[in-house]
Structure 1
Amino acid sequence: MYLEHVNLVVSDIPKVLVFYQAAFPHWKVRTEGSGHWNGKPRNWIHFGDDYYYIAFSDHGEGENRDLEGYQVGLAHFAYVTNNIEATIDRLKSAGFEIYKDGAEEPYRKNVYFLDPAGYEVEFVEYLSDLPEQRNLTS
């Protein structure tokens, strides 16, 4: 079993696509459409590769949860990269700054960015193939 996709509600799909296209240059818009969600019109896209994607719908209102607060909701999600420096460079070149540095760990590097919709996205590069080292936390 594996996670195929997440569905994120945003207010501006083109704006968030800039972030995710920089993070995942090999991904593309797989499919898109429009319709209604509980009576409200919305546009949607599936952005990813042949196996994994992020679904975006543009019927969001208001602000995302306060990431420094204690509200119930999504805290962050993470993607594994083989080259965290290249990922950081692409995101910075697209105009996005690091939101916060990751913990210093001997077997992985990680960093957090905020996408334009206010979702915190972690990128992780593992420096070991051994699960007991990869999963070690200080």
Structure 2
Amino acid sequence: MYLEHVNLVVSNIDDMLSFYRAAFPHWKIRDQGKGDWYGKPRTWLHFGDDYHYIALSDHGEGQNRELEGHSVGFAHFAYVTQNLDAVIKRLNDAGFEIAKPGGTNPYRRNIYFIDPAGFEVEFVEYLSDVPLERNSTYD
């Protein structure tokens, strides 16, 4: 079993695509359309590869939860990369800055960005193939 997709409700799909295209240059729009969500029109699309994607819908209203606060809600999601420096460079080149550094761990490197809708996205590069090391917590 694996996670196939995350569905994010946003106010501007094009802004989101600028972030995720920089993070995942090999991904493409897999499918898209228009519809109605409980009486409100929406445009939606699936952006990803053949196995994983992000579903985006543009019928969002208001602001995302404060990440520094204690409100119930989505905290962050993470993607594994083989080259964290390349992801950082692509996102920086696209105008996105690192939101916060990751922890100190001899077996992995990670970094956090905030996407245009206010979702925190972690990118992690593992430096070990040993599960006990990869899953250890250090700070």
Give the equivalent residue in structure 2 for 1:2. Answer: 2
- Residue ranges of structure 1 left out of the alignment (5+ in a row): none
Per-residue deviation, 1:97: 0.1
Output the CA distance in 2 between the equivalents of 1:135 and 1:83: 18
Alignment identity in percent? Answer: 70
Per-residue deviation, 1:24: 0.2
Give the equivalent residue in structure 2 for 1:19. Answer: 19
- Residue ranges of structure 2 left out of the alignment (5+ in a row): none
Output the CA distance in 1 between the equivalents of 2:56 and 2:114: 16
| 1:85 aligned onto 2:85 | yes
Per-residue deviation, 1:90: 0.1
| 1:121 aligned onto 2:131 | no
Secondary structure in 2 matching 1:85: helix
In the TM superposition, what are the counterparts of 1:89-108 in structure 2 within 5 Å?
Answer: 89-108=89-108
TM (normalized to structure 2)?
0.99
In the alignment, residue 119 of structure 1 is paired with which amino acid?
F
Secondary structure in 1 matching 2:17: helix
Per-residue deviation, 1:133: 0.3
Per-residue deviation, 1:72: 0.5
Output the CA distance in 2 between the equivalents of 1:78 and 1:64: 18
Output the CA distance in 2 between the equivalents of 1:115 and 1:92: 12
In the TM superposition, what are the counterparts of 1:34-53 in structure 2 within 5 Å?
Answer: 34-53=34-53
TM (normalized to structure 1)?
0.99
Per-residue deviation, 1:86: 0.2
Give the equivalent residue in structure 1 for 2:62. Answer: 62
Structure 1 runs (4+) deviating above 6 angstroms are none
